[in-house]
């Protein structure tokens, strides 16, 4: 079996590839399996892939259908032993057509059969030619004939040589040499008439059982015989066929028939009505470089965002996605059209992950086996399993998922996809959704989506589209006139209108002028009547069975296959075929060969049909009753809808509620809420309303919406409910109040319940909730009292036990910073939650435990448990918790001076926050990215991040975070010499103070601004006085930001004192400065301390400053280049210059200059650079005359040694 799906039955053909009859175990049908050996040239494998995409566009009864394309990734031993099939062979899955090829059929052909073959071939060729496609490989081996000659059917196969002017300017000579047209051999322009010459050779062979030239063996021999006359010996075939044949075999293309219609007309034939396709074959049509823009977004390696391609029905969304799939190898394309009741979206997704060779080759054998076993089992896929697989796959390889007709997916699937997208985006997996804008809000699905809106074509674009997709022998001018007047210019409606024109009786062939024309005067009204009028006319022609088919499909919200239709209508299955085919030809139904189901062709057609149905309620009841009694594979929601429309509300409630249970089991809480809220609008008894509201309130609380939960609970408590339910509601209300931050209110609700005679399980739940409330109120004695009493109980459940240990750990921390006991309790909580299989809670405990380790400076253990927490969060899809952990982890990495790691963690957090729409956290991520980019010397990136962060906090009025951002960015602006930006930040900060928008504690930071501004303005005495005052205030503070500000201000104070010649006082400040391991960026601060000790020693000339500078540079070796290292080299140069060592002085000066030049290159704005260059140190540095010493600073930005 190939890929655990296709079971080989027998070999049915062989050439460059092998063709087998096989059984598709998924769709339960026979198929043709075309396998190309991995040993064949790469060009052939590419052609096979192109053939797949070509045939997927084709929709004609005389053209073989294609179902799938892929690579052999798994196969049975027998497949290799008996059929020579190996892994990494490529394959096509095609329609299986019981037949033999035309080259095995010569002796049985007479004139009537020949005419039938010509008619069928011309039908297929005209379908291709009318859209400017040339088949290029017409020969007997590519023509299949049905076994039943009384009802002869024909299909063309092998489309690897099909060409179109938009794809190939000068296609190579290709096809079977005996059938190649002369102009192709001469490398002249090929056209549809080239196919007509091949058809002529084919007919000649049928009639004479030989080729026109028996000497034709090679292309060179054929070329040599091109102008020799062809012999047409006497034959029993009619003169009309012989004249047609002679014309087909004309050497000059212009002397052949002008088209297939011309040939058919000459022979007195027409294309049968059932051979017309409802859709013309079209090539992708780009407008405004849309494809380029979308592809550029998909090709991004970083900064990945979800892409939503929106547009009304028929604007070309599917067209665009199919083009992208064709152009990109690592794409997974999924359309609702290929899904069935048994094959879900996630089954298809996992199958495509497994069978896409670009993805498969990056997966481990264990991961492949895990996916395979799930697909083979054909059991229902749990969303958690899908999430786990995607997490594992996305760690190995990146790819793109294209989802067409997103809105048409079932609600549970849509909700789960929406949950998945932020996670996949955080893994750099691209997602593109095609969305019908008629059926959805204009608000993007994701806050960070890239939106592309597809609209109707302009007249100019319409002309280009028509000329590209219609052959020159068609009356394109007349067709364009009809389109411009009567079409809304959406691609879909243009294609539909063209199809109706081309398939109408008004398309005529004029034999005198040998051209095709459109009788527009007589055709106009009939072709362009409204759909409603057209349906009225169709209805009058239909029998009752056909009408019943339409009524059934119009009233049901999903497609049906022919067996289901026949079962409902109680008619024999074979009797349906004629009516189903008739309705397809009338463009009222469509048929999908992937799922074998029939659908109403459009929403407008469905509405018209529904309006014509009498007694709809009874019809809906019949449908619902049929679904239930016959165990038809419908979801509960569909059955509920049918009962509701039949006004049988109790039955409707039952099935809706079953769907709610299913949705909750699949974590589709949004869909569950949608159903529950809908149920409240249905007339149901009070008990059912209570049940609905209770489930609704629980679901709201489950998804973190306590306000909505509380609203429903309050309305519930007003209803007549029994005592047990009232207790449950009050417990839930207490938990809701805690979630809302109303802790005393929660206590007031919960404590009285302890006096009731309640089951132990409920008492435990109440006590845990009370402990939670008391913890927030800082009443630690009650937390310890309740928790310790709970731990003595033997009936305390695993999850409740874990919660108790978590509360105890937090109480130990908040009450007396007792970290050892906190660690013990967090570890106990982790063990209990693991036993209870509460993975999200385990991850939460590990985050808490890691934070404690970081507080006690055990960074190795902090990293270990945080990495474990990240893995757990990833496995369960807790993106919000993962992003917040990444943000905190980034802070730790930053404080440890692991800047690149910190930047990566902040960036990942930002991507997740953008995907889930947490705007405030996006602002925090940008703030932190600004800090770390500054530390990396990426000044322009730092500027941009600070600006974005400020914009976000200002817009959402997050004033506390805005105040913090203004202070952090002010320090940055001061460091790079941007006085204007520094003053602007102070003005904004002052405005926040004046409006009372930030707490009093933050107002003290205004002094920091003043100290920095005065320093920047060189008002050093005033600045020094303020800085001394602030340094004293900050010296005893322990918070991270306060410590960071303290050292920043301290060293700026030291700089000011040195500039004023107060060297001994400056030394006192530096020597008293103690930098512990717990201080943020302690290593950089230690280097800064060494620098200032060296600078003071150099200026006082009371020791050897080089020792200090060497220590400074030694520390900085492992970190990005910065001004501190440049200053160290500069002062060292000054020192050696004073000692007369000119060479060493010059060399060190050059190093210093090279570092500054490297840093200045990180400004992409000349205005910002012009702030940086006048800094006192930079000015002094570049005023020295030095000898150029190349290659001192390498391109990586690493610090050189002294």
pLDDT digits (tens, 9 = 90+) for 325-352: 988 888 999 988 777 666 789 989 998 8
What is the pLDDT at residue 1091? 94
294 shares a domain with 179: no
Which carries the bigger pLDDT value, residue 739 or residue 514?
Answer: 739
**Of 501, 527, 553, which residue constitutes the final position of a domain?**
527
Tell me the C-alpha distance between 391 and 396, whole Å: 9
Q: Are residues 88 and 193 in the same domain?
A: no
Domain final residue pick, 241, 275, 309: 275
pLDDT tens figures, 1058-1076:
999 999 999 999 999 999 8
Round the CA-based radius of gyration of the chain to a whole number and report it: 39
- The pTM (predicted TM-score) of the whole model is 0.79
Instruction: Grade residue 105 by pLDDT with cuts at 50, 70 and 90.
Output: confident
How far apart CA 1008 and CA 1014 sit, in angstroms, is 10
Question: 524-577 pLDDT, tens per residue?
Answer: 555 555 556 777 777 788 888 999 999 999 999 888 888 889 989 998 877 788
First-to-last C-alpha distance (Å) of the chain: 68
Separation of CA 253 from chain center: 49
| DSSP line for 2-33 | BTTTEEEEEEEEESSSEEEEEEETTTTEEEEE
Residue 1159: pLDDT over 80: yes
* 254 and 302 assigned to the same domain: no
Percent of the chain with pLDDT over 70: 91
Query: Dihedrals φ, ψ of 129, to 5°?
Result: -65, -35
- Asked if 981 contacts 988 with a C-beta cutoff of 8 angstroms, the reply is no
Kind of pairing, strands 307-311 and 430-436?
parallel
Q: Average model confidence (pLDDT) for the chain?
A: 87
Tokens of 783: 């937390």
Task: Write down the pLDDT at residue 514.
Answer: 54
Q: What are phi and psi of 1192, to 5 degrees?
A: -85, -40
Count the residues in the chain: 1202
- Residue 142 counted as domain residue: yes
Q: By residue range, what is the domain housing residue 496?
A: 459-527
Statement to judge: residues 319 and 413 lie in one domain: yes
Least confident of 360-374, 585-599, 820-834, 1136-1150: 585-599
Going by C-alpha positions, the residue among 260, 210, 232, 241 that lies closest to residue 114 is 241
Q: Do 402 and 523 fall into the same domain?
A: no
In a domain, 886, yes or no: no
Instruction: Kindly state whether residue 350 falls inside one of the protein's structural domains.
Output: yes
The C-alpha atoms of residue 362 and residue 459 are separated, in whole angstroms, by: 47
Q: Judge whether 1122 lies within some domain.
A: yes
In degrees rounded to 5, what are phi and psi of residue 685?
-70, 170
Amino acid 1193: pLDDT: 44
Tell me: pLDDT of 1053 over 80: yes
pLDDT recorded at residue 315:
83
- Same domain for 253 and 331, yes or no, is no
**Each residue's pLDDT tens digit, 141-170:** 999 999 877 788 999 999 988 888 766 555
Q: Is residue 118 located within the same domain as residue 235?
A: yes
What is residue 171's three-state secondary structure? coil
Residue 943: CB atoms within 10 A of its CB come to 23
Residue with the two structure tokens 């609702």:
336
pLDDT at residue number 1192: 40
**Are residue 324 and residue 358 in the same domain, yes or no?**
yes
CATH number at residue 195: 1.10.510.10
Closest CA to 44 of 160, 169, 133: 160
> CA 6 to CA 922: how far, in whole Å?
48
> CA 496 → CA 96, 483, 609, distances in Å?
29, 10, 20
CATH number of the domain at 577, please: 1.10.10.10
Whether 215 has a pLDDT exceeding 70, the answer reads: no
Question: Has residue 864 been placed in a domain?
Answer: no
Give pLDDT, residue 1187: 40
**Residues 1133 and 1156 occupy one common structural domain:** yes
Residue range 307-322, pLDDT digits in tens: 999 988 778 888 899 9
Quick check: 1201 pLDDT over 60?
no
When pLDDT is cut at 50, 70 and 90, the band that residue 433 belongs to is very high
- Identify which of 183-192, 471-480, 951-960 has the greatest average pLDDT: 951-960
pLDDT score, position 96: 94
- Look at residue 218 and tell me whether its pLDDT is greater than 70: no
Residue 52: name the closest of 40, 71, 36, 65 by CA. 65
The 10 Å CB-count burial string (b at 16+, else e) for 1081-1113 is: bbbbbbbbbbbbbbbbbbbeeeeebbebbbbbb
Query: Quick one: CA torsion of 549, 552, 555, 558, rounded to 10 degrees?
Result: -90
Domain assignment of residue 143, yes or no: yes
- 268 domain residue, yes or no: yes
Q: Are 924 and 962 in contact (CB under 8 A)?
A: no
- CA pair distance 199, 210, nearest whole angstrom: 14
Residues 471 and 388 in one domain: no
Quick check: 393 pLDDT over 70?
yes
For residues 119 and 269, is the Cβ–Cβ distance under 8 A? yes
Model confidence pLDDT, tens digit, residues 854-906: 988 899 999 999 999 998 888 777 888 999 999 999 999 999 999 999 999 99
pLDDT at residue 955 greater than cutoff 90:
yes
- Per-residue pLDDT, averaged over 980-996, amounts to 93
Which residues, 6+ apart, have CB-to-CB distance to 114 below 8 Å? 203, 206, 207, 237, 241
Sign of CA dihedral 729, 735, 741, 742: positive
- Asked if 238 and 311 sit in the same domain, the reply is no
Q: How many domains does the chain fold into?
A: 6
Residues 69 and 107 placed together within one structural domain of the fold: no
- The reply to whether 589 falls in a domain is yes
CATH of the domain at 57: 3.30.200.20
pLDDT for position 457 = 86
Confidence label for 698 from pLDDT (cuts 50, 70 and 90)? very high
The reported pLDDT for the residue numbered 168 is 53
Q: Which of 613, 637, 661 is the last residue of a domain?
A: 613
Instruction: Residue 304: give its domain's CATH number.
Output: 3.40.50.300
Q: How far is CA 1175 from CA 685, 950, 983, 1178, 1179, in A?
A: 79, 26, 17, 5, 6
Contact present, 398 and 426 (Cβ < 8 Å): no
The pLDDT value given to residue 1195: 45
Check residue 594 and give its pLDDT. 66
Lowest mean pLDDT among 377-381, 945-949, 1026-1030, 1064-1068: 377-381
Closest CA to 1193 of 1087, 1121, 1114, 1127: 1121
**What is the per-residue pLDDT across 439-483, written as a single tens digit (0 to 9) for each?**
777 788 887 889 998 888 888 888 988 988 888 888 888 888 888
Helix, strand or coil, per DSSP, at residue 666: coil
Query: Could you tell me which of 624, 632, 625 has the C-alpha nearest to residue 563?
Result: 632
């Amino acid at each position: 079996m190939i890929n655990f799906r296709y079971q080989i039955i027998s070999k049915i053909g062989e050439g460059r590839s092998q063709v087998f009859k096989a059984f598709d175990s998924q769709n339960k049908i026979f198929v043709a399996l075309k396998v190309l050996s991995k040993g064949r040239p790469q060009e052939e494998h590419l052609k096979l892939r192109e053939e797949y995409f070509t045939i997927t566009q084709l929709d004609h009864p005389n053209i073989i259908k294609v179902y799938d394309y892929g690579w052999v990734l798994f196969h049975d031993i027998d497949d290799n032993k008996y059929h020579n099939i190996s892994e990494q062979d490529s394959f096509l899955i095609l329609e299986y057509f019981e037949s033999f090829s035309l080259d095995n059929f010569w002796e049985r052909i007479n004139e009537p059969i020949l005419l039938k073959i010509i008619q069928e071939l011309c039908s297929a060729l005209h379908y291709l030619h009318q859209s400017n496609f040339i088949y290029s490989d017409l020969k007997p081996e590519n023509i299949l004939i049905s076994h039943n000659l009384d009802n002869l059917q024909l299909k063309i196969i092998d489309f690897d040589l099909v060409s179109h002017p938009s794809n190939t300017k000068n296609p190579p000579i290709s096809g079977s040499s005996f059938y190649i047209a002369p102009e192709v051999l001469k490398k002249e322009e090929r056209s549809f008439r080239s196919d007509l010459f091949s058809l002529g050779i084919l007919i000649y062979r049928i009639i004479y059982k030989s080729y026109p030239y028996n000497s034709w063996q090679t292309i060179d021999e054929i070329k040599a015989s091109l102008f020799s006359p062809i012999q047409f010996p006497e034959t029993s075939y009619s003169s009309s066929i012989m004249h047609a044949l002679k014309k087909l075999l004309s050497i000059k293309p212009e002397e052949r028939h002008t088209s297939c219609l011309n040939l058919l007309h000459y022979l007195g034939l027409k294309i049968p009505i059932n051979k017309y396709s409802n859709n013309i074959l079209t090539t992708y049509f780009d407008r405004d470089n849309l494809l380029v823009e979308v592809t550029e977004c998909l090709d991004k390696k970083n900064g990945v965002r979800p892409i939503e391609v929106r547009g009304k029905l028929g604007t070309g969304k599917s067209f665009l996605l199919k083009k992208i799939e064709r152009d990109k190898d690592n794409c997974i394309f999924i359309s609702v059209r290929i899904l069935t009741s048994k094959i879900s979206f996630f089954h298809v997704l996992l199958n495509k992950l497994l069978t896409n060779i670009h993805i498969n080759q990056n997966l481990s054998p264990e991961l492949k086996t895990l996916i395979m076993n799930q697909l083979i089992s054909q059991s229902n896929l749990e969303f958690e399993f899908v999430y786990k697989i995607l997490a594992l796959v996305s760690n190995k390889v990146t790819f793109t998922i294209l989802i067409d007709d997103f809105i048409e997916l079932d609600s549970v699937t849509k909700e789960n996809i929406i949950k998945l997208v932020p996670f996949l985006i955080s893994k750099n997996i691209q997602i593109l959704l095609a969305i019908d804008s008629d059926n959805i809000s204009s608000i993007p699905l994701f806050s960070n989506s890239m939106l592309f809106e597809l609209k109707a074509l302009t007249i100019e674009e319409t002309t280009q589209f028509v000329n590209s997709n219609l052959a020159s022998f068609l009356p394109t001018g007349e067709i364009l006139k009809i389109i411009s007047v009567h079409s809304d210019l959406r691609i879909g409606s243009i294609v539909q209108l063209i199809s109706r024109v081309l398939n109408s009786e008004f398309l005529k062939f004029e034999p005198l002028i040998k051209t095709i024309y459109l009788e527009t005067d007589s055709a106009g009204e009939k072709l362009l009547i409204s759909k409603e009028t057209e349906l009225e006319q169709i209805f009058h022609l239909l029998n009752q069975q056909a009408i019943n088919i339409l009524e059934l499909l119009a009233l049901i919200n999903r497609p049906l296959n022919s067996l289901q239709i026949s079962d409902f209508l109680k008619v024999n299955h074979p009797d349906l075929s004629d009516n189903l085919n008739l309705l397809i030809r009338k463009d009222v139904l469509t048929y999908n060969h992937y799922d074998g189901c029939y659908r109403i062709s459009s929403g407008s057609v469905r509405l018209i049909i529904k309006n014509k149905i009498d007694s709809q309620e009874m019809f809906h009841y019949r449908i619902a009753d049929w679904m239930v009694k016959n165990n038809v594979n419908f979801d509960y929601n569909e059955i509920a809808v049918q009962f509701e429309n039949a006004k049988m509300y109790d039955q409707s409630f039952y099935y809706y509620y079953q769907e709610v249970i299913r949705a909750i089991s699949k974590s589709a809480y949004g869909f569950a809420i949608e159903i529950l809220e809908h149920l409240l609008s249905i007339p149901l008894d009070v008990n059912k309303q209570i049940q609905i509201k209770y489930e609704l309130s629980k679901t709201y609380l489950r998804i973190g919406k306590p306000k909505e939960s509380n609203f429903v609970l309050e309305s519930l408590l007003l209803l007549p409910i029994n005592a047990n339910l009232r207790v449950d509601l009050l417990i839930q209300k207490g938990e809701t109040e805690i979630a809302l931050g109303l802790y005393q209110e929660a206590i007031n609700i919960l404590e009285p319940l302890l006096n009731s005679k309640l089951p132990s399980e409920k008492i435990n739940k109440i006590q845990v909730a009370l402990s939670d409330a008391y913890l927030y109120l800082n009443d630690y004695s009650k937390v310890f009292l309740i928790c310790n009493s709970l731990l003595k109980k033997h009936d305390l459940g695993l999850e409740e036990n874990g919660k108790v240990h978590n509360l105890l750990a937090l109480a130990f921390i908040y009450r007396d910073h007792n970290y050892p006991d906190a660690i013990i309790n967090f570890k106990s909580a982790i063990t209990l939650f693991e036993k209870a299989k509460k993975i999200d809670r385990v991850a939460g405990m590990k985050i808490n435990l890691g934070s404690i380790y970081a507080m006690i400076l055990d960074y190795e253990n902090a990293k270990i448990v945080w990495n474990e927490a990240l893995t757990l969060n990833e496995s369960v899809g807790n993106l919000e918790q993962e992003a917040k952990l990444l943000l905190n982890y980034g802070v730790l990495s930053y404080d440890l001076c692991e800047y690149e790691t910190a930047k990566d963690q902040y960036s990942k957090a930002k991507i997740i926050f953008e995907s889930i729409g947490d705007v405030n956290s996006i602002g925090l991520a940008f703030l932190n990215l600004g800090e770390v980019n500054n530390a990396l010397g990426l000044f322009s990136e730092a500027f941009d991040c600070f600006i974005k962060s400020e914009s976000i906090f200002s817009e959402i009025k997050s004033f506390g975070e805005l105040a913090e951002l203004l202070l952090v960015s002010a320090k940055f602006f001061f460091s790079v010499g941007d006085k204007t930006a520094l003053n602007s930040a102070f003005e904004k900060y002052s405005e926040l103070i004046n409006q009372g928008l930030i707490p009093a504690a933050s107002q003290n930071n205004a002094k920091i601004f003043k100290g920095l501004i005065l320093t920047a303005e060189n008002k050093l005495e005033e600045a020094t006085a303020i800085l001394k005052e602030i340094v004293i205030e900050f010296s005893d503070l322990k918070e991270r930001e306060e410590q960071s500000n303290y050292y920043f201000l301290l060293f700026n104070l030291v700089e000011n004192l040195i500039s004023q010649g107060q060297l001994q006082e400056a030394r006192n400040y530096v020597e008293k400065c103690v930098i512990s391991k717990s201080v943020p960026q302690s290593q950089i601060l230690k280097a800064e301390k060494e620098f200032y000790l060296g600078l003071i020693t150099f200026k006082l000339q009371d020791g050897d400053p080089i020792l200090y500078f060497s220590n400074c540079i030694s520390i900085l070796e492992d970190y990005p280049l910065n001004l501190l290292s440049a200053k160290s080299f500069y002062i060292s140069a000054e020192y050696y210059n004073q000692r007369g060592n000119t060479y060493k002085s010059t060399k060190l000066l050059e190093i210093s200059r090279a570092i500054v030049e490297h840093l200045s290159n990180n400004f992409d704005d000349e205005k910002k650079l012009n702030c940086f260059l006048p800094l006192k140190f930079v000015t002094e540095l570049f005023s020295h005359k030095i000898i150029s010493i190349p290659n001192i600073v390498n391109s990586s930005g690493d610090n050189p040694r002294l």
